[in-house]
Amino acid sequence: MSNRPTPAVAPYSAKHLPAMTAIWNEVVADGIAFPQEDQLSVEEATAFFAEQTHCGVALDHATGEVLGLYILHPNNVGRCGHISNASYAVGSKARGRGAGRALVSDCIQQARTHGFKVLQFNAVVATNTVARKLYESLGFVQLGTIPGGFRMPDGTYEDICPYYLSL
């Protein structure tokens, strides 16, 4: 275990956008966690992040470097608009430093602050065991398994595991 302090999480600002875009695109390019397939330009990312209910960034205490980010938004509309959804991305060089836990914990608080009653993850890839262990340690409940719900970069299909947390 590292002696590094837990990363601070703060609302994103314009100065964070280049790093956020790079981290987001890295996870998209990996093809093993996010359903998106297209990279975002900084201009596209600027609009995308601005559309979210909230975006947080995990920052290294010493350097201010962006280690990861999350987006929070409604999962649905109307009578289901009280259910939120989020995505998390941690840069490969920052993994294992506590950024994921800090991001998810902050996201839970922000979801409550914004009036959501549930935080739901629609498509956690079954092989993403680090994320699943983190979510379960924070009280998320797996809803079941959707066989073959995620197409991997090599064309094979992995199961997805929806999760939720009552807020």
Q: Is the pLDDT of residue 19 over 80?
A: yes
Read off φ and ψ for residue 44, nearest 5 degrees: -65, -40
SS3 36: coil
Give CA–CA dist 75/95, Å, rounded. 27
Q: What is the pLDDT of residues 21-70, one digit of tens each?
A: 999 999 999 999 999 999 999 999 999 999 999 999 999 989 999 999 99
pLDDT in tens, 74-112: 999 999 999 999 999 999 999 989 999 999 999 999 999
Q: What is the DSSP string of 48-82?
A: HHHTSSEEEEEE-TTT--EEEEEEEEESS-GGGTT
pTM (2 d.p.): 0.94
What's residue 1's pLDDT? 46
- Region 5-21: mean pLDDT is 95
Which sign does the torsion angle of CA 39, 33, 77, 21 carry? negative
